[in-house]
Structure 1
Amino acid sequence: MQSSRRLKVASLGSGSKGNATLVSNGEVTVMVDCGFTVKEVLKRLPRINLEPEQIDGILVTHEHQDHISGVGALSRKFSIPVWATRGSLLSGKCGNLPEYNVIEGFSPFSIGSLDITPLSVPHDAREPCQFLFTQDELRLAILTDLGCFTPRIVEQLTPCHGILLECNHDEEMLWNGPYPDRLKQRVAGRMGHMSNRQAIELLQQMDTDALQLVIATHLSEQNNCPKLVGDLLAETLDWPVEQIKIAEQDMGFGWHELVLESNRVFESV
């Protein structure tokens, strides 16, 4: 009998205080970003039944502290190779790395049996990217930390079975909130962070026929509300609201698995 083709994803936390996402195809496990200290990573990994020695690589989206601050230390302590664009590496925020690989020209690459396509995104960093993971026909996208989406991004996301989608802020809450004006302008700008409205517009432009899993990520604690996000995404997709998942800053989320042959998603225990 042919084995199931699957991808699974989990998070140690998502938000302005730190980000780290795990993706696995059962043979290869990678961490996307590490914005936590090694101590905090080791505290959180047991929640998803993972040991640091099981991580085959760290992928860097960009050099902002909430995504890169723990990359170098974790890489050095456990000899984990790092993949990043030249711009992210030139920031110097990883320090000396035992092994690193430069993502050139946003060209696809593989780590073992896991195929990865870097996505060029508009964000106020040196050479930011996000990632699309492919296992056979299964496709899982991580799309956070971008100020807006482009036609090329929409094209690359079609089809997609699972997406981690930035829903950073509600525009009204942002403009009426406590941030100084300069920060509000930065967050709302084309190189800042995607709003709930923009996330909805992206889903409306995508072909969502194959979509099984949507996880809202990088929610602002000051300028957004998980219930609001869940309701908006569920209405857009015509899904039950409980089918929409939210990545939390403190707890992240447990493993969610995409299985192509059964066309279903479930959370592992």
Structure 2
Amino acid sequence: MSLQITSLNSGSNGNCYYIGNAKEAVLIDAGISCRETERRMKRLGLRMDCVKAIFISHEHSDHIRGLEVLSRKYSLPVYITENTMLHGNLQLDALHVRRFDEYAPISIGDLSVTAFPKFHDAIEPRSFMISSQEIRIGVFTDIGAPCDHLIRHFQQCHAAFLEANYDEQMLEKGRYPFYLKKRIRGGKGHLSNTQALELFKAHKPPYMSHLLLSHLSRDNNNPEMVLELFRPHAGRTQVIVASRDVETAVYHISNHYQPPVPKVEYVQGQLSF
């Protein structure tokens, strides 16, 4: 038994993450177009008819841009809080809308999806843990600061999508106006590379096989730099940067992890080790 995971896109231009088994899958967020979602899944050999639901983390456009078309075309249920739907100005078929409560597991076939709150400047932001037969995958992006909720869930993950949005020096010296810099690093914006690394070093479980660094800033980060930052601490965990331009490979996650020999390589145009 294993779970398949991939990032279809990750960044301020759109976020969409796929987690599934051989029979069913869920999408966490739908921030790229329906057409692009279909294209990327097809290139990876993934089937849309396996996707049984979409879960929405918050209302920012890079997480919901493709949602209405995707849900309507495939009659997909959308799990979303009432306030997130309202503040996102979403026009969804009422038959497809499902509400969820934090810490209340939702069964999608053999998958179980649990939401929990996070620090972000949205109305009701949520992170997600997806599990099946003791395999646990976390989706932890758009987080202003690590909290007890995040730490507790990260400690249980066999694999995780973890935000590493910006390098502190690049943000400080960059072209962004002061108010935007303040928003990004102000505790309800995004995790820096250093914050992500400290979480990884302090709380990574010994069985974590894959870490996908996610939501990297185009202007305030560099994939090679963040990988070099994580490299001395990766141990037996494979660390991958989730691209803002293309899908990653599909990774198979099990709870009987046999680590590969550490190496450095390009994965779909990205460094991986």
Q: Tell which deviates more after alignment, 151-160 or 141-150.
A: 151-160
Q: CA deviation at 1:200?
A: 1.0
- The CA RMSD over aligned residues, in Å, is 1.8
Q: CA deviation at 1:135?
A: 1.3
In structure 2, give the amino acid aligned to 1:82. Answer: V
- The question of 1:18 aligning with 2:14 is answered yes
Q: CA deviation at 1:120?
A: 1.1
In structure 1, give the amino acid aligned to 2:52. Answer: D
Corresponding residue of 2:171: 174
Q: Deviations over 1:108-133 (max 9, x none)?
A: 22111101111211000010111111
2:76 to 55, 77, 80: 80
Q: Deviations over 1:199-247 (max 9, x none)?
A: 011112314211111111100011001011111122223358xx32110
Corresponding residue of 1:122: 119
264 and 58 in structure 1: CA distance in 2 versus 1, 3 angstrom threshold: farther
SS of residue paired to 1:57:
strand
Q: CA deviation at 1:149?
A: 0.8
112 and 239 in structure 1: CA distance in 2 versus 1, 3 angstrom threshold: closer
Q: Tell which deviates more after alignment, 46-55 or 114-123.
A: 46-55
251 and 143 in structure 1: CA distance in 2 versus 1, 3 angstrom threshold: same
Q: CA deviation at 1:178?
A: 1.1
Asked if the contact 1:68/1:93 (under 8 Å) is kept, the reply is no
Asked if the contact 1:131/1:143 (under 8 Å) is kept, the reply is yes
Corresponding residue of 2:30: 34
78 and 176 in structure 1: CA distance in 2 versus 1, 3 angstrom threshold: same
- The question of 1:251 aligning with 2:246 is answered yes
Identity, in percent, stands at 33
> Counterparts of 1:93 and 1:27 in 2: how far apart (Å)?
32
Asked if the contact 2:167/2:192 (under 8 Å) is kept, the reply is yes
Q: CA deviation at 1:264?
A: 5.1
Corresponding residue of 1:131: 128
156 and 42 in structure 1: CA distance in 2 versus 1, 3 angstrom threshold: closer
SS of residue paired to 1:103:
coil
Corresponding residue of 2:219: 222
> Counterparts of 2:175 and 2:236 in 1: how far apart (Å)?
33
SS of residue paired to 2:39:
helix
Q: Deviations over 1:88-120 (max 9, x none)?
A: 122243312241111123422211110111121
SS of residue paired to 1:75:
helix
In structure 2, give the amino acid aligned to 1:103. Answer: F
In structure 2, give the amino acid aligned to 1:233. Answer: F
Corresponding residue of 2:231: 234
- Give the gaps of 5 or more residues in structure 1: none
> Counterparts of 2:204 and 2:224 in 1: how far apart (Å)?
25
Q: CA deviation at 1:30?
A: 0.8
Q: Deviations over 1:150-183 (max 9, x none)?
A: 1232112222211111000001000101111111
Corresponding residue of 1:89: 85
Asked if the contact 1:122/1:148 (under 8 Å) is kept, the reply is yes
- The question of 1:162 aligning with 2:159 is answered yes
Count, aligned residues? 260
Asked if the contact 1:140/1:160 (under 8 Å) is kept, the reply is yes
In structure 1, give the amino acid aligned to 2:247. Answer: G
TM-score between both structures, scaled by the size of structure 1 = 0.91
Corresponding residue of 1:150: 147
SS of residue paired to 1:232:
helix
262 and 191 in structure 1: CA distance in 2 versus 1, 3 angstrom threshold: closer
